[in-house]
């Protein structure tokens, strides 16, 4: 069989990636593109007209052929004959499955391959009589689409080249409406979709892309030329942004508080934005009024909810007053959201998903956005920046008039949207959790960071060796997964800064692993005061400082949490020539018990792990400890791991991954009522059994 991926596919992917790479053209995962072409039907040998269209949930900027749905045009074009009307248009989504070509995917190998699920916008692409179609969500286009007199502005801006289509929820009827506009306006290049975005078309891929860019650029020029200055009103004295340092410090204090509030119904991860666009909006007189109108484009408010929570205090307000007021505003927000749901919910509406805000705006400081994971939180923030730009443009030339609250509810609680949410994969055990691992740049710490990320956690890799921390974090993935901080755990200010970094990166912290350590092995008479001091400074003092700062943050979040100490068999076993290290580890072990007793009332569980003989992959052993212990036991250093294994009950060598597995066992939920426990991960050393 011949490949079913014609040249149209390569052109479509290139066009999509270029359009999606520029945020002025569309938002993340927003919009869709398509191409039509002819291939040879692998069964009949006859020509077959196909539609290649971006599938549901994909992102234009990163689209690949695997993200396309492939449908037969003859079957798509037959659907209007069986269309039951606008009241039942959702039924047509299931009909797309009967229009798929083969398994609906691009068959680069000549064999049928499964493609992406067709999106709700498939009708728009299939029914419009043009070989190439783009549907995008540019800020400039949505500004016209949400203007109170958007239809007249569209005529003024484009003449007859771009038509106006009144708001209609995405679906089959909207596809028919756009197809009719295309048919009745053969000289047109596209449409402004009221309350929504733009659609453009062309006879070639290049022409379609050029038409899309022309619509966006022309709309932006119109806004720039005809827009009034300061559409958000004047700057309000006292709402100006704090200095960079003050702003970040205040944000670090507020992030865990807000994350706790935003997680009342479901655990959330946070993202902080203090871009110039956000800070200027929040300094302006009209920001409370405009924010209350909410966003309009369906992609926007599905991520941001119908409206944000807006703090009504100046940035100079004392922090305790701000925190108290945020609690009051959050309670009001939840009450108002429930009322919104109850105003519009019908007998067949899905249950209310959660009443907490996704966007919190704090004048002088910035924007906090929340989602089930870091990417979702970040994208919600990006979408609200889009919304600010849209409001600015609409208010500059007219008045911002988003779609009605009832229409927003129809989108937010749409049965098709509910079905999309139900198709999401089951979350991993640590999804939504934020971990900070000290000594995370190597050895046990690096293995632990790797395992926590694999289980779904966002991870802050903390290490005195900054490049090692950065390397370990990069190994875990993008900034949506991991962040690196350079920290000396013996330094109070550095430890506080590391926890602040976690709050700014992900909204807070849930799980802290005290792993930073070192060892100097000498007999008592050869152990110097400096040997004693440095080991106690890093392990005893360092763990104390990290746990203290973590407890402050966890208490502010009010979500409970976990503190894990990586102690040692030597915390309970009197090993030879090991007084300073063993005493420091014993200190850590008792901290576990003391903090478990003290922090339990806050829902914070404190547990420890007693590893032994972790030679391979260990930063501690590589730093000279291995040679020292090998000399003590009279074995070659390269055989030390095997030596340790042979003295255990299980005769197996302990690796960093085994310790990491114990961290997950203690924190992933199966031991949710366990605190104050020290788990041996030593292969079985009877002399170190806890009594």
Distances (CA, A) of 13 to 125, 288, 398, 512: 15, 41, 37, 43
Average pLDDT over residues 246-271: 98
Q: Which of 268, 245, 199, 231 is nearest to 53 (CA)?
A: 199
Which percentage of the chain shows pLDDT scores above 70?
97
Give me the residues paired with residue 436 across strands: 460, 512
Average pLDDT over residues 455-469: 98
Model confidence pLDDT, tens digit, residues 467-505: 999 999 999 999 999 999 999 999 999 999 999 999 999
Domain 434-615+655-681 is found in CATH 3.30.230.10: no
Average pLDDT over residues 437-457: 97
Task: Provide the pLDDT confidence category of residue 620 given band limits of 50, 70 and 90.
Answer: low
Angle at 149 between CA 143 and CA 155, to 5 degrees: 85
Q: How many helices (H) and strands (E) does the chain have?
A: 26, 18
Model confidence pLDDT, tens digit, residues 356-386: 999 999 999 999 999 999 999 999 999 999 9
| 2 pLDDT higher than 50 | no
Quote the distance between the C-alpha of residue 387 and its chain's center.
19
| 6 pLDDT higher than 80 | no
Cβ atoms of 58 and 67 within 8 Å: the answer is yes
CATH class of 7-226: alpha beta
Give backbone dihedrals phi and psi of 255, rounded to 5 degrees, phi first: -55, -50
For residues 465 and 459, what is the distance between their CA atoms, to the nearest angstrom? Answer: 17
Q: Is 341 a catalytic residue?
A: no
User: Judging by beta carbons within 10 Å of its beta carbon (0-12, 13-18, 19+), is residue 412 exposed, middle or buried?
Assistant: buried
Exposure string (b/e) for 305-338, b if CB count within 10 Å is 16 or more?
Answer: bbbbbbbebebebeeeebbeebeebbeebbeebe
Give the ranges where 402-541 is alpha helix by DSSP (H): 405-412, 415-422, 443-454, 466-476, 492-506, 529-535
What integer pLDDT is reported at residue 110 of this predicted model? 57
What integer pLDDT is reported at residue 4 of this predicted model? 62
For residues 662 and 646, what is the distance between their CA atoms, to the nearest angstrom? Answer: 22
For residues 188 and 158, what is the distance between their CA atoms, to the nearest angstrom? Answer: 10
Q: Is 366 helix (H, G, I), strand (E, B) or coil?
A: strand
* Sequential DSSP letters for 244-260: HHHHHHHHHHHHHHHHH
Q: Determine the angle formed by the axes of helices 205-226 and 150-158, rounding to 10 degrees.
A: 110
| 412 pLDDT higher than 80 | yes
For residues 325 and 345, what is the distance between their CA atoms, to the nearest angstrom? Answer: 30
Model confidence pLDDT, tens digit, residues 177-230: 999 999 999 999 999 999 999 999 999 999 999 999 999 999 999 999 999 999
Give me the residue spans of the domains in the chain.
7-226, 244-422, 434-615+655-681
For residues 279 and 239, what is the distance between their CA atoms, to the nearest angstrom? Answer: 9
Q: Is 95 helix (H, G, I), strand (E, B) or coil?
A: helix
Say if strands 269-273 and 309-310 run parallel, antiparallel, or are unpaired.
unpaired
| 453 pLDDT higher than 90 | yes
Cα-based torsion angle of the residue sequence 173, 175, 181, 186 in order, rounded to the nearest 10 degrees: -150
First CA to last CA distance, the chain: 71
Give me the residues paired with residue 485 across strands: 462
Cβ atoms of 581 and 536 within 8 Å: the answer is no
Q: How is residue 540 annotated by DSSP?
A: I
Cβ atoms of 164 and 191 within 8 Å: the answer is yes
Q: Identify which has the larger pLDDT, 341 or 1.
A: 341
Average pLDDT taken over every residue of the chain? 94
Average pLDDT over residues 288-308: 89
For residues 457 and 443, what is the distance between their CA atoms, to the nearest angstrom? Answer: 19
| 155 pLDDT higher than 90 | yes
For residues 329 and 291, what is the distance between their CA atoms, to the nearest angstrom? Answer: 14
Q: Is 235 helix (H, G, I), strand (E, B) or coil?
A: strand
Q: Is 30 helix (H, G, I), strand (E, B) or coil?
A: coil
What integer pLDDT is reported at residue 165 of this predicted model? 98
For residues 479 and 378, what is the distance between their CA atoms, to the nearest angstrom? Answer: 10
339-353, 404-418, 439-453, 582-596: which has the minimum mean pLDDT?
404-418
| 284 pLDDT higher than 70 | yes
Residues 6+ apart with CB under 8 A from 426: none
Average pLDDT over residues 310-326: 98
Give me the residues paired with residue 67 across strands: none
| 1 pLDDT higher than 80 | no
For residues 656 and 513, what is the distance between their CA atoms, to the nearest angstrom? Answer: 14
7-226 and 244-422 share one CATH topology?
A: yes
Residue with tokens 């400074």: 537
Containing 173, the helix (H) or strand (E) segment is helix 172-184
244-247 contact pairs (CB < 8 A, 24+): 247/274, 247/315, 247/364, 247/365, 247/366
For residues 259 and 369, what is the distance between their CA atoms, to the nearest angstrom? Answer: 9
Say if strands 197-202 and 47-54 run parallel, antiparallel, or are unpaired.
unpaired
Q: Is 496 helix (H, G, I), strand (E, B) or coil?
A: helix
For residues 494 and 492, what is the distance between their CA atoms, to the nearest angstrom? Answer: 5
* Catalytic entry in 28, 337, 413, 581: 581
What integer pLDDT is reported at residue 3 of this predicted model? 46
| 437 pLDDT higher than 80 | yes
The first and second tokens of residue 658, run together, are 């085994």
Model confidence pLDDT, tens digit, residues 80-103: 999 999 999 999 999 999 999 988
What's the CATH number of domain 244-422, 3.30.70, 3.30.2170, 3.40.225, 1.10.150? 3.40.225
């Amino acid at each position: 069989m011949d490949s079913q991926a014609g040249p149209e596919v390569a052109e479509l992917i290139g066009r999509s990636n270029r359009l999606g790479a520029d945020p002025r053209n569309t938002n993340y995962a927003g919009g869709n593109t398509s191409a039509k072409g002819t291939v040879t039907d692998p069964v009949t040998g006859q020509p077959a007209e196909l539609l290649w269209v971006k599938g549901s949930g994909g992102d234009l900027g990163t689209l690949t052929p695997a993200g396309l749905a492939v449908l037969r045009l003859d079957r798509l074009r037959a659907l209007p004959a069986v269309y039951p009307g606008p009241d039942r248009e959702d039924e047509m989504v299931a009909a797309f499955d009967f229009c798929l070509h083969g398994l609906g995917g691009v068959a680069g190998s000549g064999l049928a391959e499964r493609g992406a699920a067709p999106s709700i916008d498939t009708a728009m692409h299939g029914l419009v009589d043009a070989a190439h179609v783009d549907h995008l969500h540019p800020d400039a286009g949505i500004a016209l689409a949400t203007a109170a007199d958007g239809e007249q502005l569209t005529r003024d801006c484009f003449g007859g080249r771009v038509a106006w289509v009144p708001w209609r929820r995405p679906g089959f009827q909207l596809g028919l409406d756009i197809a009719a506009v295309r048919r009745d306006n053969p000289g047109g290049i596209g449409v402004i979709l009221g309350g929504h975005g733009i659609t453009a078309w062309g006879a070639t891929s290049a022409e379609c892309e050029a038409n899309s860019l022309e619509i966006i650029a022309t709309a932006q020029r119109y806004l720039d030329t005809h827009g009034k200055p300061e559409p958000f009103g004047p700057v309000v004295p006292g709402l100006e942004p704090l200095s960079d340092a003050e702003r970040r410090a205040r944000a670090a204090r507020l992030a865990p508080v807000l994350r706790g509030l935003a997680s009342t119904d479901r655990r959330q991860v946070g993202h902080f934005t203090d871009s110039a666009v956000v800070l200027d909006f929040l300094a302006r007189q009209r920001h409370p009024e405009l924010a209350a109108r909410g966003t309009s484009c369906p992609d926007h408010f599905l991520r941001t909810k119908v409206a944000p929570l807006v703090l009504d205090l100046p940035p100079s307000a004392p922090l305790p007053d701000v925190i108290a007021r945020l609690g009051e505003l959050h309670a009001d927000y939840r009450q108002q959201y429930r009322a919104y749901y109850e105003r519009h919910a019908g007998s067949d509406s899905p249950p209310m998903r959660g009443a907490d805000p996704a966007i919190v705006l704090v004048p002088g400081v910035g924007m906090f956005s929340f989602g089930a994971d870091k990417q979702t939180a970040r994208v919600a923030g990006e979408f609200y920046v889009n919304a600010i730009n849209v409001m600015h443009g609409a208010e500059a030339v007219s008045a911002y008039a988003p779609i009605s609250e009832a229409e927003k509810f129809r989108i937010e609680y749409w049965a098709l949207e509910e079905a999309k949410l139900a198709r999401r994969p089951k979350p991993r055990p640590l999804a939504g959790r934020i971990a900070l691992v000290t000594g995370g740049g190597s050895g046990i710490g690096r293995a632990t960071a790797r395992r926590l990320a694999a289980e779904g956690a966002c991870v802050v890799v903390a290490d005195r060796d900054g490049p090692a921390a950065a390397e370990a974090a990069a190994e875990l993935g993008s900034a949506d997964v991991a962040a690196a901080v350079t920290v000396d755990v013996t330094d109070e200010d550095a430890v506080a800064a590391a926890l602040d970094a976690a709050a700014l990166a992900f909204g807070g912290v849930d799980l802290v692993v005290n792993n930073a350590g070192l060892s100097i092995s000498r007999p008592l008479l050869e152990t110097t005061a400096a040997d004693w001091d440095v080991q106690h400074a890093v392990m005893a003092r360092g763990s104390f400082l990290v746990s203290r700062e973590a407890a402050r943050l966890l208490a502010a979040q009010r979500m409970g949490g976990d503190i894990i100490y990586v102690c040692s068999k030597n915390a309970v076993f009197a090993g030879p020539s090991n007084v300073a290290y063993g005493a420091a580890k014993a200190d850590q072990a008792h901290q576990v018990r003391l903090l478990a007793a003290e922090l339990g009332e806050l829902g914070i569980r404190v547990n420890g792990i007693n590893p032994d003989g972790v030679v391979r992959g260990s930063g501690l052993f590589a730093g000279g400890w291995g040679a020292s212990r090998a000399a003590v036991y009279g074995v070659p250093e390269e055989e030390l791991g095997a030596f340790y294994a042979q003295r255990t009950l299980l005769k197996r060598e302990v690796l960093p991954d085994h310790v990491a597995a114990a961290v997950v066992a203690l924190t992933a939920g199966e031991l949710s009522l366990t605190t104050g426990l020290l788990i041996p991960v030593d292969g079985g050393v009877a002399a170190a059994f806890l009594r």
